[in-house]
Structure 1
Amino acid sequence: MAKTESTMLPLGTTAMDFYLKDTNSNDWLSLSDIRGTKGTLIVFICNHCPYVHHVMEEIIMIANDYRVQGIGIAMISSNDATAYPQDGPEAMTEFAFNHTFGFPYLYDQSQLTAKNYDAACTPDFFLFDSQDLLTYRGQLDDSRPGNNIPVSGNDLRSAIDGLLYNRQISPIQRPSMGCNIKWKKISS
């Protein structure tokens, strides 16, 4: 596990479309299928990362709290499933079931979506407004495995609330931190 920070995609970036298989439902979904009326939250995760496990319960609570308020939500795993089979589609289906995901868990086999979003770690959070413009990218909160700070979701919740209630979202945002995305090795 290599501790990695978000690359902090520039605010105002337009959400890139994708067409990925949902391992939770077996459907193929695009950004327009995920998009919420008030905004869209895309989170890059994987099954085995201890940083993801540390915050998974809060991510699910956020999804459940905000889906009903018009925020579309999807999780995406982009890890190389050949090198990391625990992050492959079948394991993703089991992970989604075990964590009672009520939202899509998409498999980015080509890793193109992660590259388009400049995703670097798991978890990596991207919040877009109703016009598909990036309004928040960064950490869930200050909690990390072993630092004894309780998981609260404060940073992400504050950004989502700002979007929903038309409040200014601070442009000063701290990067998320987690395991690096496991990129496929390019053979020469």
Structure 2
Amino acid sequence: MRKYFIYLTVFTLQFVFSSYADFNKERSISNFKLKSATTNKWVAISDYKNAKGFIVVFLSNKCPMAKFYSKRLNQINEKYQNKGVYLLAINAMDTLAYADESFAKMKKKSKSDNFSFPYLQDKNQTIAKQFKAENTPQAFVVWKNKAGKLIVRYQGAIDDNAGEPEKAENHFLTDAVDELLNRKKVTVSKSESFGCKIYYRGEKNNMN
């Protein structure tokens, strides 16, 4: 009985510590290359040789919540690109299910909203799966560590007021970038984002 208890205790401790390690494990993002509707050219993470990090925002053409952020994203891009932090927007919506998310419609949106950043099409949804993106808009901050790997340092909402930006009290995305630029730990590394769900190809549900 005593021997069984010892085995059970050791197993429990191993499970707890392995779960803790998994929870605290840094998530890295590998290089990717996607076509931009902004310039009609291919864009890769590796193209940005001097980048300290990236702001990656999942957007869509149709989603009402995503539409609120076009102007703010242009402003964010203008603020940080000269500091070595580049904004990349990605559309990973299933074009087979939603005709409004086509590359042609992406080009139209990019032009009408005057995007100053690449608006990339993740046609096969592989990059969205890598990020584990769930909805639009959803923002990620990935930062280079000493080994040159891109580590996810923030994920979630851009801020806490989509419709009235002047009333936003928490600027989660830019706060995270500012802290990283100042070599500080990100205070809020995750927040809840709201918008239209990204349904991966093969799912039967439809976007709201």
For residue 109 of structure 1, the aligned residue among 108, 120, 123 is: 123
Pick from 193, 197, 208 the counterpart of residue 176 of structure 1.
193
Q: In the alignment, which residue of structure 1 is the partner of 2:11? A: none
Distance change >3 Å, CA 172–CA 69, structure 1 → 2? closer
- Give 2:92's aligned residue: 78
Partner-residue secondary structure (3-state), 1:74: strand
What is residue 5 of structure 2 aligned with on the other side?
Answer: none
Q: Once the two structures are aligned, what percentage of the paired residues are identical?
A: 27
Larger Rg: 2
Deviation, structure 1 residue 42: 0.9
Tell me which residue corresponds to 1:161.
Answer: 178
Residue 168 of structure 1 and its aligned partner are, at CA, apart by 2.0
The total of aligned residue pairs comes to 178
Distance, in Å, in 2 between the alignment partners of 1:11 and 1:143 is: 31
1:121-168: CA deviation from partner (whole Å, max 9, x where unpaired): 0011110112311111111111145x8983477111110101111122
Can you list the C-alpha shifts for 1:66-98, whole angstroms capped at 9, x where unaligned?
Answer: 111110221000111122111110110111111
Q: 1:107 to 1:172 in 2, by over 3 A?
A: closer
Higher helix fraction: Structure 1 or Structure 2? 2
Deviation per residue, 1:10-50 (Å, 9 max, x gap): 77311132221111112122221257522111111001111
**Unpaired segments ≥5 residues, structure 2:** 1-22
User: Which residues of structure 1 form unaligned runs of 5+?
Assistant: 1-8
Partner residue of 2:35 out of 9, 18, 21: 21
CA RMSD of superposed structures (Å): 2.5
Query: 2-side partners of 1:10 and 1:101: how far apart?
Result: 35
